[in-house]
Structure formats: structure tokens, C-alpha cells
Chain A
Amino acid sequence: MRKFLLKSILLTSIVLVICLGMRLFIGPFWGHSTASQKWEVYHIKHSDANTLFIGSSRIYKHIMPKVFDSLAKIDGYSTNSFNLGVNSFPAPQSLRMLDLLIEETGSVKYYFVELTPIYDEINDKIINTPEWNYWYDGHHLTLLARHVWSRPDLGYQNKIKRIKEHLQSYLGNFFLIGSAQFYLEENLKDEKWLVEQFDQQKGFVSFESAMKNQAEKSDDLTGRFEKFQNDTTVLDIRKKEALKLKKWKKNNDLNSPYVEELKNLMKKVEDKGGKLFLIIPPRMENYSGYRFFADIYKMDNLIDLSDPESYPEFYQAKNSFDVGHLNLKGARIFTNRLYQLIQDKNGFVK
């Protein structure tokens, strides 16, 4: 029995060392195609950016760095921004990206991060695939487990199930589960146009141009666009949902462990002479997850763009691509509004 246990430990260690060795050759977002590409373009061609936008498609498709920079230039601020937003990239993935960026020595002064609910329930379709596993590390696994455990709305069975799945996902990332398929698929894809756009448009790619150039095919852009065109009244549901956020903000004093994490990240950015802003996007399917950010709502660096009463233009069909996102025209308006709000908060330093 002892011989067996020793040899098992040895075998596991060898496999672990090989997997760790392989990790030296792969990026931190190896299972997410767009995140990997943008990360690479940013580091190779735009590492001098001093303003970064991080988050999901509601950052990626809504913030136009060139427009942002030109507005800043008019007011005498020197911003050189890059949009690191990526489809299907909410917290906790986006917070991991932020974590990595803050650790780097560089020129970044302003971080604008989408504040999203912590997505702690894994989609059945992508569990145990690189598409989900890629972003796990020990720190974020612990944070996620603590977040799940702290949720008063989940039963113990559900909490244990979710934590078990996250542990599984962490091991999946550690051992690079399913990585071969990901790398072969990346090599077969022709995404030259998209990568060029990341460089030319500083990370922003509108839905319209992606659809026209047949990029991001797996997101079924045409299907989503046509579905929305057939029934734009679905926006009313999103408006009603967004109005609930006011209630969540007022009636809760819950704080996820992620709030501490965000505060720590803010402090780290400040220690480096920078500023971190949190953006609440419009048109989410569900805002109930925002009730776990009680302390965040007391902060100055929160930019809330979700309110349909304050920003009705974000809920108009003419500015929309699909039910959850703005089109190019809407993105231009969004970028302008965002810039204005930052100005109002004296967010920039000359």
C-alpha cells in the first residue's frame, strides 16, 4: 500500500510539473479566443495605453476608445485608451483580468471596469470545457467559494454543488483539460480581420462590422439581430428590470466578499497613482445580483448608466443591435455619456 501511495504521488507530481511547464507557454486566457487575442494585441501594440476598459460585451461593444480619446483631448486630457472588453466576460473573469493588469508595471492611469453580478452558476453547456475553465486560479477560486457560501438566497445543497463545480473547474484549468481542441480550433479559424480591428479600433468592434465581415460567427450575430428586429418590445422587459436596481440599491446591506476584493483592487490602483471606476451597464437581463454590492453604492467612483429614466436613449430600438446591446450609433452615445459622467465626477487628472 505504501509503495502504491508513493508511486501515485510521484506520478501526480510528474503530470503536475508537465502541466505547470506547459502553462509557461500559454497566456492567462488560453481558453477564451477573443480574450487571448485582445490580450496579445494590447501587450504587443498598445501597451502604452493609459486608460483601459474591462468587462463583458457591454463594454466591448459599447465603448469606442477613439471617440473617448478625442473627447478627452478637446478638454485637454491626455488619454490613450484601449477596450479590453470581451464577449461573455463578466465577474469573476473580468476581475481576474483587472488583477493581472494591476500587477503589471505600466502606464495605466485609469481603469474602467464593468460592475456585474458575480456569475457563480456554471452554464451546463460549457462546464468542464476550456471555454469556462481557463480563468481559474487559486485566489479567485477561494473568492468565488466565499461568495457562494455568503449568499443567503442559496440552500446548503446548492452552495456545496456550486463550490464543488468550481473546484472541478479549477482542476480543469490546472491540468489544461481539453486544451488540444482549443488550440487546433484557434489555428483553423480565420480571424485575421478581427485581430486587425482590435489594433485599428483599439479593441472596439461594432456588431454591424462584425456581422458584415462574418467575424464572431459562433455568436450568431445575424440571428440575434433579426430576432430583435422582429420584436423590439422586448426592450420594455429590460427597462423594467433596470428600474428594479434602484430597489436593490436601497433595500440591501449585503456585501459579497467581492466587495472587499474590489476595495483592495481600488487601493492597489491608487497606490500606483491611478484611479479605478466601476460601471453599471444598461440592459442587463437581471439586476438582482447587484444587491450584493451595498458598500459600492456609497462610493464616488461608481458610474451607473443603467437607469432608463436618466438614460432613455440606451433603451431605444433605434440605438439597439439586439435586446442586450447597443448598435454603433448607440455605442457612440454611450461613450459620450460615459465621458460626461467621468467629467462630472472630476475623474480625470491633467
Chain B
Amino acid sequence: MLFNSFQFIVFFIVVTSLYFALPYRYRWFLLLSASCLFYMAFVPVYILILGFTIVIDYFAGIYIEKSRDGRKKLFLIFSLIANIGVLAVFKYYNFLNENLSLLMHGVGYENPIPYLEILLPIGLSFHTFQAMSYTIEVYRGNQKAERHFGIYSLYVMFYPQLVAGPIERPQSILPQFYRNHDFDYERVKKGLLRMAWGFFKKLVVADRLAYVVNDIYSDLPADSGGGIYLLATVFFSFQIYCDFSGYSDIALGAAKVMGYDLMENFNRPYISKSIQEFWQRWHISLSSWFKDYLYIPLGGNRVVKWRWYYNLLLTFSLSGLWHGAKWTYIVWGFLHGIYLIIPLILKIKIRSAWNIPIVFILATFGWLFFRAESMTDAVYIIQQIGRSPFEFNFDQHTTFFLTNCIMGIGAIILLLVSEAFFLRHGTFENRAASFSLFPRWTIYVSILLLIFWFGVFSNNEFIYFQF
């Protein structure tokens, strides 16, 4: 079920009301049932896959904790293989098979391996990574194995973050399921404010920009002028930020209402003064996952230079691959690896505010590949922009397109001004709640009216659902 749907609003109200009405000891069961319902609203049968990985990892955690030395590692490897195996089959099988076909054709052979016609289970990349984080932390001794099967299942399936993160660490969230969270007016208010902020970003900004981006990136019109392609690419930078961070805000807000604190996943990434800083502000839960479980175990930066650069390139390329089974995602990730390596090679360490537009341009260039439907499309778009970056042929488009361009620009300006005002010294909800009565209520009413009057309610999926 999408967050931006009438169904979810009803679901949230019912589940939250029942949550506070029920005695504490039954709440885990309510949340687990609600999370199952939430997940099954997409493709019901795929809950079996979730169930499979939950059972494997639950027992793996217990046996890892009980075992010594070699057997400990064996259970960890078994758990990782199960999770990565599920990802490999559902997400990467056809991609790998397609590339194998290309290779075999290149040497004059036919690929006998059939393609699979399967849908990608929603949120697969997120919950498998969260599950792997659990078994790794148990193995490292940082987390005790969870004995309560229901609580462990809830750790994997907790509905606010089930399908698009943040990817939580067991140490931060498991203990929270054992705490009693009473209804607290201030906390609930802040949770709802955070959700409203998320809905604003998703419905008013992201989905508005999507109309322009989808039109250009799907149709690749020949006579629009490079300026329109450039506009669409810049729009996509903000679309993906608002879509994904908006989802995270709604997830954090929904969890906060019930008393759970999820990790912050975004921190104004477009004010970064370096690519390194960008990755400390963008999809924080994923970048820290890759840092802790891939980059550092590979040696991180505590190795010889060439190996360090290799670690960076590999980590970021795999991060790209995590997003999807397409070369464009891998190129995007690889490009960010290159962005990090070049200052290291050239020994550049400037972090001035002048870098902010440069980092934005680099990030936007990367997003071009991320959004393009193929490498051929990406190259075409770059050529269009390069040919005539200041040419805007709106005559080739409908009034609807023009309307969305204008509203899109307005939405971006509003976003930037709002972030500068509200997020300068903390979160939106804390800042909004700090005002006196009249300005505070003006904010409440304004954000709701902005969402209603300027929002797009066509039930557009969140971009990160496809990962």
C-alpha cells in the first residue's frame, strides 16, 4: 500500500488508534499483523519470501550466538547466502542472464539458460539488507540474538520502514520494541508534523516534477531543445531527493507517533561542499551499511593507495547495482566512485561554499544516468544538452507540460526556502513546534492546504519502491 493513498491514511489511523488502545504486551502482535497486511497489499504471495528470510535469519542469529569459531562463520555465511540468493534470483537473474547472452553471442554461441518472468518483490533490497545487518551484528558480538520470533519478525517487517527504509541496525531498533510507549501529545504532534513534511515533499514537489521528467526521459522528444533536457535533469535531482526523503520523513513520522525513533536518512544533501559530504547526507542508512559491511572489511582507506581507490570504486559500483539491475545504475555508482577518487589523486581538499553548486552539478550529472532508461538514452540526452543547453522549445509541448514546468520551478523554490528556514538547526517538526501559537498554527494550516491544493494525487509510486 502506498503512503500517498487514501487507503494508507485509513490504515494508519486504525493501526495507531488500536496501538494506543491495546495493552503494551499485545502491541508487537498488532504491529506485526498490520505490517503483514501492509506488505500483502502489494503482491500477497511475496510475503512467503519475506517469511523465508525471516525464518533463516532468526535461527541463524541464535546458532551464530551459540556456536564457536568455524561454525559461527558457517551460519553467518549460510544466512548471507540465503539473503543474497533471494536478491540474486528475484532482482539480478535476468540482468546477469541478459549479459551472459550478449557475451555468448559475441563469441558465436546461443545462451540456453531461460529468462524468468517474475516480479521484483517490493522492498526486497531494503529488508534483505536490514536482515543481513542483524546476522552480521550478532556475529560481531554487537547484538544479542533475538529469541522472540515475533519481535524479530517485526524488526524485519516494521511497516513504516519495510519497503523503502531507512535500513535500521538491530541495536537501535530492537530494544525499542520492548519499551512501553504511552500516548504523548508532543511526540504524536511532532510525528504527524514530520509526516506532513514528507507528504509535502512527495506530493507537492516530487510528483509535480515527475510529470516533466517522465515526459522527457520516456519520450526523448527530438525538437524540445537541450534546455528542456537540462531542465528535466535538474528536476530529476529534486524529484528523487523529495521522493525518497519524503518517504523517509513519512516513515520516521509514522514511527515517531507510536514512539519509535528511526534513523535520519537525509540531511540536506544538496548543500554538500564535497562528494564525500554528499554521501554523509544522502541515503545515510545505505551508505553507512556499505561502509560498515563492505568498505571497511575490504580495508577501507587503511591499505595501499591503489587498493583504497579500488575499494571505493567497488563499493560505489555495488551501491549502484543495489539500486537496480541495469548498467545505468552501475555507471551512476561508478561515477560517484570516480568523483571521490579524483580529489584524492589530485590532493584537493577545499570545502568552501563555492563548492556547493559544483557538487550539485556533479550529482545531477550522475542522476542523468540513474534516470535514463538505457545507456543509449543517457548518451542521447547528454548530446541534446551539449548541443543546445539554452534552447527551450515549449511550443512542442502541451499546456499541461508547461504548467508543470512552472509549478515545478515554484515547488523547488518553495522547497529550498522552506529547508533553509526550517532545517537549518534541526528537524522540520522541532522547528515548527518551537513557534508561538499563531505562527505555529499558520504552519499547520498552510502545509495542509499546500498539500491539498498543489499536490498531485495520482497515486504515483515512490521511486525507491522499485529497488
Residues of A within 8 A of B (CB): 1, 3-4, 11, 14-15, 18-19, 127-129, 164, 168, 171-172, 175-181, 184-185, 188-189, 217-218
Q: Can you identify 28 A-B contacts, CB atoms within 8 angstroms?
A: A1-B20, A1-B183, A4-B183, A4-B188, A11-B445, A11-B448, A15-B448, A15-B449, A19-B449, A19-B452, A127-B458, A127-B459, A128-B458, A129-B458, A171-B6, A172-B457, A177-B452, A177-B453, A178-B454, A178-B457, A179-B453, A181-B403, A181-B404, A181-B454, A181-B456, A185-B399, A188-B406, A217-B399
Which residue of B has the minimal Cβ distance to A165?
B6
On whether the beta carbons of B453 and A18 are closer than 8 Å, the reply is no
Q: What's the dominant secondary structure at chain A's contact region?
A: helix
For the complex, what is the distance from the CA of A176 to the CA of B454, rounded to whole Å?
10
Number of A-B contacts (CB under 8 A): 69
Known: A176-B453, A180-B407, A181-B456. 20 other contacts (CB 8 A): A1-B183, A4-B185, A4-B188, A4-B189, A11-B448, A15-B448, A15-B449, A15-B452, A18-B445, A129-B457, A177-B457, A178-B455, A178-B456, A179-B453, A181-B454, A184-B403, A185-B399, A188-B403, A188-B406, A218-B398
Which residue of A has the minimal Cβ distance to B208?
A181
Interface flag for B77 (CB, 8 Å): no
On whether the beta carbons of B399 and A189 are closer than 8 Å, the reply is yes
Interface flag for B40 (CB, 8 Å): no
Please give the distance in Å from B5's CB to the nearest CB on chain A: 9
On whether the beta carbons of B407 and A14 are closer than 8 Å, the reply is no
The interface residues of chain B lying within 8 Å CB-to-CB of A19 are 449, 452
Please give the distance in Å from B396's CB to the nearest CB on chain A: 13
Please give the distance in Å from B270's CB to the nearest CB on chain A: 25
Please give the distance in Å from B407's CB to the nearest CB on chain A: 6
For the complex, what is the distance from the CA of A128 to the CA of B6, rounded to whole Å?
10
Name the residue among A11, A168, A181 with the largest chain B CB count within 10 angstroms: A181
On whether the beta carbons of B449 and A168 are closer than 8 Å, the reply is no
Interface flag for B380 (CB, 8 Å): no
The interface residues of chain A lying within 8 Å CB-to-CB of B6 are 164, 168, 171
The interface residues of chain A lying within 8 Å CB-to-CB of B458 are 127-129
For the complex, what is the distance from the CA of A127 to the CA of B402, rounded to whole Å?
22
On whether the beta carbons of A176 and B399 are closer than 8 Å, the reply is no
For the complex, what is the distance from the CA of A15 to the CA of B185, rounded to whole Å?
21
On whether the beta carbons of A185 and B403 are closer than 8 Å, the reply is yes
On whether the beta carbons of A14 and B457 are closer than 8 Å, the reply is no
Residues of B within 8 A of A (CB): 6, 20, 183, 185, 188-189, 398-400, 402-404, 406-407, 441, 444-445, 448-449, 452-459
On whether the beta carbons of A184 and B407 are closer than 8 Å, the reply is yes
For the complex, what is the distance from the CA of A3 to the CA of B186, rounded to whole Å?
10
The interface residues of chain A lying within 8 Å CB-to-CB of B454 are 178, 180-181
For the complex, what is the distance from the CA of A217 to the CA of B404, rounded to whole Å?
17
The interface residues of chain A lying within 8 Å CB-to-CB of B398 are 217-218
Name the residue among B20, B188, B399, B445 with the largest chain A CB count within 10 angstroms: B399
A177-B455 contact, Cβ under 8 Å, with A185-B399, A218-B400: yes
For the complex, what is the distance from the CA of A18 to the CA of B455, rounded to whole Å?
17
Please give the distance in Å from B443's CB to the nearest CB on chain A: 11
Which residue of A has the minimal Cβ distance to B459?
A128
Please give the distance in Å from A192's CB to the nearest CB on chain B: 14
On whether the beta carbons of A178 and B453 are closer than 8 Å, the reply is yes
The interface residues of chain B lying within 8 Å CB-to-CB of A11 are 441, 444-445, 448
Please give the distance in Å from B9's CB to the nearest CB on chain A: 10
Q: Closest 7 interchain pairs by CB?
A: A128-B457, A185-B403, A175-B452, A180-B454, A180-B453, A168-B6, A189-B399
For the complex, what is the distance from the CA of A129 to the CA of B208, rounded to whole Å?
13
Please give the distance in Å from B98's CB to the nearest CB on chain A: 31
On whether the beta carbons of B406 and A184 are closer than 8 Å, the reply is yes
The interface residues of chain B lying within 8 Å CB-to-CB of A3 are 185
B402 contacts which of A171, A178, A180, A188 (Cβ < 8 Å)? Answer: A188
For the complex, what is the distance from the CA of A127 to the CA of B458, rounded to whole Å?
7
Which residue of A has the minimal Cβ distance to B189?
A4
Please give the distance in Å from B330's CB to the nearest CB on chain A: 34
The interface residues of chain B lying within 8 Å CB-to-CB of A177 are 452-453, 455, 457
For the complex, what is the distance from the CA of A218 to the CA of B397, rounded to whole Å?
11
For the complex, what is the distance from the CA of A179 to the CA of B450, rounded to whole Å?
10
Name the residue among A175, A176, A180 with the largest chain B CB count within 10 angstroms: A180
For the complex, what is the distance from the CA of A172 to the CA of B459, rounded to whole Å?
13
For the complex, what is the distance from the CA of A343 to the CA of B398, rounded to whole Å?
45
On whether the beta carbons of A185 and B188 are closer than 8 Å, the reply is no
